Structure 1
């Protein structure tokens, strides 16, 4: 079928046409190229007769056109007025219609093939969607009778296809429209690239516009070609403002403009991307600092400088503030050095004012000193010292600044000084009286910081700004308060040193009058200084004392070790250490007491007293006390034995008595004697001959009473009290009171063999003793009243309660309950 072979182009020549039929009768030369179909038609009409050979020529021409159309990648077709294909090339048949070949499409519409594809894949609605949402371009061309270009797209075989379509009317020989012809190019890949590029551009613009840093593009003449939103905001310009006409010189200041021009040239010469700091101004004239990094790029077809700008104004301000802070701290440090090392206080304070005034960059610094008006007692303040920077008038001799009453000054100033806080204000914001004072001095703003000496308001240090108003920062107030404290400390130290000098003079006189020896000893034990009163009490010759070590004094090894340890302890803890020791000296064997007090970081002061007489007197007193202890112990022992003899005699008497009443009286008396004997027994067995443990005493006393009355087996009893030690003077009456109460309960509260309970408690509350003795027996008859009963026991209880300054309360509503309240008295001790 293919009679022609083509490379990149097709040329139809006369000689080629002649090969298709008989010799053509034409004036055209054999190698003449036919440029268009009209020329070919004319040649055929003139060169060939109307016979069967013409059909062969047109058939060959059709095959030539078919071959050309099938070998191009674009889709080519022709349709009649019913939109049915009358010609398709291989590309449209394969790529769009999915036809078997180019012949299958003839006589069918594109929707025929679309529906066929959809019916073959009903499960996938996206298998073939081509043409569903596109304009009917065939209809458009037929109606307008004009060529057109269209975008047509959709899925084909499940893959997205985008076509760039060109269509035109198809006319017959008479010029009548018989259909449409078209061609389409697959631009799916190009559209995808275009889409990605568009999205990338959108993303790029979004990223650039949302960057915190400003981004601008400059040409190398300084014109601004591009700026992101942050760049507009940096200079306070509406981002919608057109960039035309903006130049970097519209924003850069002075030296920064020169720096930018130099850096632009470096970037242009490809030296490197340059980083620099520049000062710019916004549209309101506000100065800002920016950090810029430039890079050479290509933009809109020419080289340019891409610059990232970062607002570093806060950092610059912080750096400036840090410099000011360091300068201020250095000024305060120098001021402290002057105050500490200068021998002349007034000169030191004057020099300090200059240091702190220069560091704070103010016009005038001064000190006011407080004093009390003798006639009225009012607190006044007066100008005392001053420094100026030479640009303002000095006020040191201004009489208006002398004897100013605090009561007339600003209430806010007084409040701040009362709270030990600085006071600062603009001159125009002050009260009328204070404003009048500062206005005469040309002050626009001032800061006053209280000076405290021993936590009392001594005066204040002031700082004036006369050229411009100033608002002080918190760190400046803190540092200047420290400066004021330093001046206060210097004043206090001056007063202290003055008082110390006077005290030293008094101390020297006092030391001469003290009989004790005094040594200054280093931490290694070397004697640095001394003040001996009696050379015969020193074991080292007087001329050799200074520089010698205490190890040469003849101390025992144990005493020497202990003294060296005490010296170290005193130096570390700053506590007083004391030791007693014996030593052989020229005056004989003597006893000494040494006290060690920290003198400084390396030395202690040792005060040594001869206590030989006290030690020997103490030994005599100790011996005498030991004899008295033995005597007291023997007395208590004998008293206890005598009482036991009395108790035994009563016991013998009971055996000879037949009267129950007499027996009971003897038993009660015997119990009372035992209670007193037990006190003496406790005393002579105790380490102390004046105090006994009352809880132990009561435990034994109650047990003995219940045993005596044979109630120990069926009467429960409980003792609730703290560990209390009391004197014999209280123990005997208190023991007798409890003995009578428990004995009464034992005798009368319970029936024979009846179980019962006795509770005893003794507590101290608010410096008062509360004693309670109670039983759950039948109770005392209601008609019994204290002081009116004939019962000896109750009479005795009443008398003893009065003896200890107590009050008693009887409650017989549920058994019998005695409650006694009495003071602890001087002979009570809680242990």
Structure 2
């Protein structure tokens, strides 16, 4: 700005007296520093005269010069003051940048941790990560990578962290994170290097994907459910060997539902006895089929009452069975069964047996999808057994008729409505000379 022109800017101007008072210097010092070119006043015309005026920038420079002199430094040159101004401007920009980062850091909807890539300790964390983990910001500073992940998953987590530190990986997927209370949730961690006070750190942005994984798990399980139900259904539609079909279906259903053992019991003709006719068991689980033959049906009265009422027996914890089921409880505990599910099997509304699923590892309940699959499968198996029974009766009837025909001593020829001979007895074949 030309110092001999009027001040054309809108910034406020100050008189010499105001400057002397503001900076706490003498008029002689002010004149000397003007002479040295440290400051340059503006000449503002009023009427026919020009008056010296000073901007706020000039006042700030004078304050800096006075402070240096008060601290024992020599009078700075114009070049030195330029460096001071540049440094001050840089510091102001840095401060503004840090303030902007802090605002974003604290208001982020994702959790953020800043870690030392060398010792894997945390330098700081934002409010959201504190909320996610259950720690305060001060407590976060006393933690490291090893403290916030399940022990069994640390090898994978450390591998991902080191790849991110080296710049080999940006997004780490399916990272399990342990809260203060020990519960675990899953995250995706996006990383980037960040320099703070001259040191490079690794900044990790944690996004909770637990709900997404739950939905993905539900969808995948649903697909497995539909696939298994389809296989079971197809297997019995194209039936060649019912024994293989039932055994394979029990295995499919047991694996899908996480059971330790699955089985089919069938009642004998009088309904007084029952046999464990088919069984599948997981690896490491003892089979029971040989111990469960020709058993009296009334040995499990509570069980049988429920089945005859068409109820599904869903026992989440065998140890908590009611007193009226004490007999069943004793039998189940002898087999180390913790929880189980039993569904009735019918042929034409007649109870012919039941399908069961045991868990010898843990207590718990079967999911609704599991129940739906098992109900469908029990109906399919019931229909297959009905078909088998009908085929057996047909074969039995055919054999009975053939035996009658063979026993007739007179000649006998059986023809169909079209006159085609279907069978002849032995007397007829002997008479006609056929074998």
- TM-score tier by shorter-chain length is 0.5 to 0.7
Aligned-pair CA distance for 1:398? 3.6
The match for 1:273 is 170
Aligned-pair CA distance for 1:274? 4.6
Aligned-pair CA distance for 1:332? 4.7
The match for 1:435 is 329
Which protein has the larger Cα radius of gyration, Structure 1 or Structure 2?
Answer: 1
The match for 2:134 is 236
The verdict on how the C-alpha distance between 1:101 and 1:344 changes in structure 2, with shifts beyond 3 A counting, is same
Q: Distance in 2 between matches of 1:472 and 1:487?
A: 20
Q: SS state of the match for residue 405, structure 1?
A: helix
Matches within 5 A, 1:397-416: 397-398=290-291, 402-405=295-298, 408-409=301-302, 414=306
Aligned-pair CA distance for 1:474? 1.5
Q: Distance in 2 between matches of 1:307 and 1:417?
A: 60
Q: Which runs of 4+ in 1 moved over 6 A?
A: 62-65, 97-100, 159-163, 502-509, 512-515
Aligned-pair CA distance for 1:263? 0.9
Q: Distance in 2 between matches of 1:488 and 1:321?
A: 29
Q: SS state of the match for residue 162, structure 2?
A: helix
CA contact (8 A) 1:381 1:406 kept: no
Q: Distance in 2 between matches of 1:364 and 1:284?
A: 34
Matches within 5 A, 1:204-215: 204-215=101-112
CA contact (8 A) 2:173 2:189 kept: yes
The match for 1:384 is 277
Q: SS state of the match for residue 385, structure 1?
A: strand
Aligned-pair CA distance for 1:463? 0.8
User: What is the aligned counterpart of 1:394 among 276, 287, 292?
Assistant: 287
Matched, 1:301 2:198: yes
Q: Distance in 1 between matches of 2:288 and 2:47?
A: 106
Give CA deviations for 1:303-350 in whole Å, capped at 9, x if unaligned.
Answer: 222222222334445555555555555555554455444544345423
Q: Which has the higher contact order (CA 8 A, sep 6+)?
A: 2
Q: Distance in 1 between matches of 2:400 and 2:108?
A: 78
Give CA deviations for 1:66-97 in whole Å, capped at 9, x if unaligned.
Answer: 4753886759xxxxxxxxxxxxxx45x859x9
The match for 2:254 is 357
The match for 2:347 is 453
The match for 1:226 is 124
The match for 1:779 is none
User: What is the aligned counterpart of 1:426 among 298, 309, 317?
Assistant: 317
TM-score between the two structures when normalised by the length of structure 1 = 0.36
Give CA deviations for 1:87-133 in whole Å, capped at 9, x if unaligned.
Answer: xxx45x859x9996448x9xxxxxxxxxxxxxxxxxxxxxxxxxxxx
Q: SS state of the match for residue 201, structure 2?
A: strand
Aligned-pair CA distance for 1:248? 1.3
The match for 2:387 is 493
The verdict on how the C-alpha distance between 1:444 and 1:210 changes in structure 2, with shifts beyond 3 A counting, is farther
Point out where structure 2 has 5 or more consecutive residues left out of the alignment.
Answer: 1-26, 65-84, 406-413, 421-435
Q: SS state of the match for residue 365, structure 1?
A: strand
Matched, 1:262 2:162: yes
CA contact (8 A) 1:381 1:405 kept: no
Q: Distance in 2 between matches of 1:100 and 1:483?
A: 107
User: What is the aligned counterpart of 1:463 among 350, 357, 361?
Assistant: 357
The match for 2:34 is 69
Q: SS state of the match for residue 287, structure 2?
A: coil
Point out where structure 1 has 5 or more consecutive residues left out of the alignment.
Answer: 1-61, 76-89, 106-155, 168-186, 516-530, 534-831
Q: SS state of the match for residue 254, structure 1?
A: helix
The match for 2:376 is 482
The verdict on how the C-alpha distance between 1:99 and 1:256 changes in structure 2, with shifts beyond 3 A counting, is farther
User: What is the aligned counterpart of 1:312 among 179, 187, 209?
Assistant: 209
CA contact (8 A) 2:315 2:340 kept: yes
Aligned-pair CA distance for 1:410? 5.3
CA contact (8 A) 1:425 1:445 kept: yes
The verdict on how the C-alpha distance between 1:214 and 1:380 changes in structure 2, with shifts beyond 3 A counting, is farther
Aligned-pair CA distance for 1:228? 1.5
CA contact (8 A) 1:216 1:228 kept: yes
Aligned residues: 353
CA contact (8 A) 2:312 2:341 kept: no
CA contact (8 A) 2:124 2:137 kept: no
Q: Distance in 2 between matches of 1:254 and 1:363?
A: 30
CA contact (8 A) 1:422 1:481 kept: no
CA contact (8 A) 1:422 1:477 kept: no
Q: SS state of the match for residue 316, structure 2?
A: strand
- Structure 1 or 2: larger helix share? 2
TM-score between the two structures when normalised by the length of structure 2 = 0.64
Aligned-pair CA distance for 1:371? 5.6
The match for 1:570 is none
The verdict on how the C-alpha distance between 1:219 and 1:532 changes in structure 2, with shifts beyond 3 A counting, is same
CA contact (8 A) 1:364 1:392 kept: yes
CA contact (8 A) 2:300 2:328 kept: no
Matches within 5 A, 1:189-200: none
CA contact (8 A) 1:364 1:388 kept: yes
Q: CA-atom RMSD, angstroms? A: 4.8
Aligned-pair CA distance for 1:373? 5.7
Matches within 5 A, 1:129-208: 164=60, 204-208=101-105
